[in-house]
C-alpha cells in the first residue's frame, strides 16, 4: 500500500537555460523545453511510486501518447525557469499530466498538456492504468489549457516528403527506441536555416502513433495549411507506418 502522506501534488524543479540549449536568437529551443518538462515529470513519478524503475518491475514502460506545448514568452540564455507539473486525471488506459514554466517573477512562460500510457515490454500493448497507479494518487483539477482537449490530428493528402534518413544510435533513448523529443527535432529539421531567421516555434501539438528503431529509414513530410502553420508527418519508409502527426504554429 502506498503512503499518500508522502505524495507531492504539484512537483517543481528549477533550471538555468544553458548555452547549448539555445537557438540563433539565444532563446531556448522548444525540444529542450520538452526535455525539461519530462525531466521534472520523471522526478514526480519517483515521488508517486510510478517511476521508470517501478514500472519496469511490472514489465512496463511509460509512452507519451499526445502533447500540446505553447510558448507564452520564450526563455532566453541564462534565464532561470521553474517547471511545475501535476497529474490531472486518468482514463482506462491514459494518464493526463499538465505543466507550466514560470520565470523568477512568477509569470508563465510556457504551458503543456500531455497524455501517457504504460505499455507491456513484450506485447507493446497499453495496460490499464489501474494496474500500476496508486489508488490514492493525487489529482489536481487545474488545467494548463482550460477547456482545451488533446485532439486526433488527421492525415492530409498533399504532404511533401523529403529524402529519407536513417535512425542513428544517438537518436535512441534508454528504452533503445527513438525518444519522443527526437521526433520533434526531426520535424523541425525539415526546414532550411533561413526559415528560422524571422520565425520561432510558439506552439506544437503532436500525436505519437508508433515506435521506431535503430537503422529504420524515416521520411519527414510537411504542409503549410495556413500562414505560418504547418502539418507534419513522420513515417517509416519500409512499411509506410506513420510514426507521428503534428501541427506547429510559428510567430
Distances (CA, A) of 211 to 119, 124, 125, 193: 12, 10, 12, 28
Q: Where are the domains of the chain?
A: 4-131, 160-250
HSE-up (13 A, CA, CB side) for residue 56: 6
What does the pLDDT read at residue 128?
98
Q: Are strands 80-90 and 95-102 parallel, antiparallel or unpaired?
A: antiparallel
Q: How far apart are CA 160 and CA 146, in angstroms?
A: 34
Tens of pLDDT along the chain (251 residues) come to 456 568 999 999 999 999 999 999 999 999 999 999 999 999 999 999 999 999 999 999 999 999 999 999 999 999 999 999 999 999 999 999 999 999 999 999 999 999 999 999 999 999 999 999 999 999 999 999 999 999 999 999 888 899 999 999 999 999 999 999 999 999 999 999 999 999 999 999 999 999 999 999 999 999 999 999 999 999 999 999 999 999 999 99
DSSP secondary structure code for residue 199 in this structure: -
Burial of 110 (C-beta count, 10 Å sphere; 0-12/13-18/19+): buried
Domains 4-131 and 160-250 share a fold: yes
- Class level of CATH domain 4-131: alpha beta
120, 175 contact by CB (below 8 A): no
Q: What CATH fold (topology level) applies to the domain 160-250?
A: Thiol Ester Dehydrase; Chain A (3.10.129)
63, 119 contact by CB (below 8 A): yes
156, 93 contact by CB (below 8 A): no
Amino acid at each position: 500500500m502506498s503512503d499518500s502522506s508522502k505524495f507531492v501534488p504539484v512537483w517543481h524543479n528549477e533550471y538555468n537555460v544553458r548555452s547549448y540549449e539555445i537557438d540563433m536568437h539565444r532563446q531556448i529551443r522548444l525540444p529542450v523545453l520538452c526535455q525539461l518538462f519530462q525531466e521534472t515529470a520523471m522526478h514526480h513519478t519517483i515521488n508517486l511510486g510510478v517511476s521508470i524503475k517501478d514500472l519496469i518491475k511490472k514489465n512496463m514502460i511509460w509512452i507519451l501518447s499526445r502533447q500540446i506545448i505553447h510558448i507564452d514568452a520564450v526563455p532566453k540564455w541564462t534565464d532561470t525557469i521553474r517547471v511545475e507539473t501535476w497529474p490531472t486525471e486518468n482514463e482506462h488506459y491514459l494518464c493526463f499530466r499538465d505543466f507550466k514554466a514560470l520565470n523568477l517573477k512568477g509569470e508563465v512562460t510556457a504551458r503543456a498538456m500531455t497524455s501517457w500510457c504504460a505499455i507491456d515490454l513484450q506485447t507493446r500493448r497499453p495496460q490499464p492504468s489501474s494496474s500500476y497507479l496508486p489508488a490514492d494518487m493525487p489529482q489536481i483539477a487545474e488545467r494548463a489549457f482550460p477547456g482545451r482537449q488533446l485532439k486526433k490530428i488527421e492525415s492530409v493528402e498533399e504532404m511533401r516528403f523529403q529524402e529519407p534518413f536513417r535512425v542513428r544510435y544517438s537518436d535512441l533513448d534508454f528504452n533503445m527506441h527513438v525518444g519522443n523529443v527526437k521526433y520533434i527535432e526531426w520535424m523541425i529539421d525539415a526546414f532550411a536555416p533561413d526559415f528560422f531567421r524571422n520565425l520561432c516555434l510558439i506552439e506544437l501539438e503532436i500525436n505519437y502513433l508508433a515506435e521506431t528503431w535503430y537503422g529504420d529509414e524515416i521520411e519527414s513530410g510537411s504542409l503549410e495549411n495556413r500562414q505560418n502553420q504547418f502539418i507534419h508527418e513522420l513515417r517509416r519508409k519500409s512499411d509506410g507506418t506513420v510514426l507521428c502527426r503534428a501541427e506547429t504554429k510559428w510567430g
